[in-house]
Amino acid sequence: MSALLELQGLVKRYGGLTATDNLNLTVNAGEIHAIIGPNGAGKTTLIHQISGALASDSGRIVFAGTDVTRVPMHLRVQAGLARSYQITNIFPRFSVLDNLALAVQARSGSSMRFWRPAVSERAMFEEARALADRVGLGGQVDGLAGNLAHGAQRQLELGLALATRPRLLLLDEPMAGMGHEESVEMIPLIESLRPEIAVLIIEHDMDAVFRMADRISVLVSGRIIATGTPDQIRCNLEVKKAYLGDE
């Protein structure tokens, strides 16, 4: 497998606190790569650095062979690096279909063709319908997004992120606040993205992580202490001592 994302010596400091500390990580094309670690390990900071929401103090972020360390977030999205936001970018008073159609329009309208829609209305809604089917919301396209159950809203967020046609999707706790049944539905959905889309996922639900991930990296105090297959991580004594043993 080839590297799609390479993090080289990444550092983020908040005043005197070093949240990510000379961090190196590779995400391969088409893999589901999970980052686990105790609270405060730096997981969310890392996702912000990769997406471009936070500037890094040092180190390099190379995506698809291009150094994007200083590239603004919207251009990283255009290059195929997307993240799913947590509910905040859903329009609750719009239907599920309209939310997805707007996301398709936002992507295709990002070119300079502002004097006419970059995609026809029909193509936009066809793509929105396909996205709804893909994230398991095909039967709920006409409902208001704000009326969706929590799990279904997370599925919609995934659809909005997919509308950007990513090559790598960053997921920050996609199962947070979900009941068991909702999480069980989310797992095959994330797995179905592979191999077309690589996924870098932060998730506290260890059952889900160990079921889905091709590889897992363990982040402790801003540093990756181990990377391996779920079986390798499960058997890693250092990881057990630093993290899993406390679960």
d(CA 74, CA 109): 13
d(CA 216, CA 14): 26
Applying CB under 6 A, among 4, 10, 32, 41 the residue interacting with ligand ATP is 41
- The H or E element containing residue 18 is strand 17-28
Beta partners for residue 8, in sequence order: 60
CB nearer to ligand ATP: give 2 or 39: 39
SS3 83: strand
CB nearer to ligand ATP: give 41 or 242: 41
CA dihedral 232, 176, 86, 144 (to 10 degrees): 130
The answer to whether 14 contacts ligand ATP (rule: CB under 6 A) is yes
The answer to whether 39 contacts ligand ATP (rule: CB under 6 A) is yes
CB nearer to ligand ATP: give 44 or 227: 44
Q: How many residues bind ligand ATP (CB under 6 A)?
A: 11
Residue 58 Cβ, how far from ligand ATP at the closest point, in Å? 16
* 20 CB neighbour count, 10 Å cutoff: 28
Residue 43 Cβ, how far from ligand ATP at the closest point, in Å? 3
| Binding window for ligand ATP (CB under 6 A); candidates: 12-20, 141-149, 157-165, 177-185 | 12-20
Residues 219-238 that bind ligand ATP (CB under 6 A): none
Residue 62 Cβ, how far from ligand ATP at the closest point, in Å? 21
- Provide CB contacts within 8 A for 184, sequence distance 6+: none
Q: Under the phi-then-psi rule, with left for phi > 0, alpha for psi from -120 to 50, and beta for the rest, what region is 146?
A: alpha
| Binding window for ligand ATP (CB under 6 A); candidates: 41-49, 64-72, 127-135, 157-165 | 41-49
- Provide CB contacts within 8 A for 196, sequence distance 6+: 30
d(CA 193, CA 113): 30
Provide the mask over 42-81, with x wherever binding to ligand ATP is found by CB under 6 A and - wherever it is not. Answer: xxxx------------------------------------
The answer to whether 83 contacts ligand ATP (rule: CB under 6 A) is no
Q: Which of 88, 106, 98 is nearest to 165 (CA)?
A: 106
| Binding window for ligand ATP (CB under 6 A); candidates: 37-45, 60-68, 83-91, 176-184 | 37-45
Applying CB under 6 A, among 40, 72, 139, 146 the residue interacting with ligand ATP is 40
- Interacting residues toward ligand ATP by CB under 6 A: 14, 17, 19, 37, 39-45
